């Protein structure tokens, strides 16, 4: 099963996680400094749904945004 929504095509995206160290200036320190910048992935919230398509029922992998916006008719 691929991590892609079958309706809107939403898939994994890549971002970063910044790790900071130090005491913030407004708390009396000299400021936060970046220690590490590591890559991470953001996965869509995919659900397996039985949907009505052309009069029949089909199992689909759909993101929750498409389920909430009624782009899928549940069977």
Instruction: Spell out the per-residue pLDDT of the chain, length 75, in tens.
Output: 689 999 999 999 999 999 999 999 999 999 999 999 999 999 999 999 999 999 999 999 999 999 999 999 998
Q: In sequence order, what are the residues at sequence separation of 6 or more whose Cβ sits closer than 8 angstroms to the Cβ of residue 52?
A: 73, 74, 75
Cα separations in angstroms, 37 against 13, 20, 22, 42, 68? 16, 9, 15, 16, 34
Cut 0.95: pTM above it? no
pLDDT given at position 1: 60
Q: In the prediction, which pLDDT does 75 show?
A: 87
Contact 14, 39 (CB under 8 A): yes
Give residue limits of the domains in the chain: 13-68
């Amino acid at each position: 099963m691929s991590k892609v929504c079958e309706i809107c095509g939403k898939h994994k995206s890549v971002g970063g996680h910044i790790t900071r160290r130090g005491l913030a200036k407004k708390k009396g320190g000299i400021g936060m400094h970046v220690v590490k910048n590591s890559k991470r992935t953001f996965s869509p919230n995919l659900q397996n749904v039985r949907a009505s398509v052309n009069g029949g029922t089909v199992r689909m992998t759909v993101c929750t945004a498409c389920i909430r916006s009624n782009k899928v008719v549940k069977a």
